[in-house]
Amino acid sequence: MEVAGSSPHECVVGSRRVPTAGCGSAPAPTASPDGTALTLDLAGMVVGCNHQEFNQGAPKPGASGAQATGHIDPSSGTYALDWFSKIKGGPFNGFTGMWHLTGTLKTA
């Protein structure tokens, strides 16, 4: 993943399977719907900002901790998830990212 654009303040969000920012490697995201509850393993979620990358997944790669949780409408697949993730390293070291993700779950 690379931050695109000419502004030093542009940020991107992506997923990595290789080690990033000292957080180890992580598998691709996986979703576990159960009725109207939804749990998502986002251990490989990476944010790139100001030409630096840091993990904002839940849980952190190779660590225990809470996954992203939320609700899903089983008939339409629309969902909303929330999680918090402590930032390690870089200019945001020690801060906590608060995330809210919405979308539509499509099964393969």
Asked if the model's pLDDT at residue 6 lies above 50, the reply is: no
Cβ neighbours of 56 (radius 10 Å): 23
- Alpha carbons 50 and 40: distance in angstroms, whole number: 27
Asked if the model's pLDDT at residue 5 lies above 50, the reply is: no
Q: Which residue has the higher pLDDT, 27 or 43?
A: 43
Phi-psi category of 74—alpha, beta or left, where left has phi over 0 and alpha has psi -120 to 50? alpha
CB 55 within 8 Å of CB 89 = no
pTM of the shown model? 0.73
pLDDT tens for each residue of 47-106: 877 777 788 888 877 776 788 999 999 999 999 999 998 887 777 888 888 999 999 988
**pLDDT band with cut points at 50, 70 and 90 for residue 21:** low
Q: Which residue has the higher pLDDT, 89 or 30?
A: 30
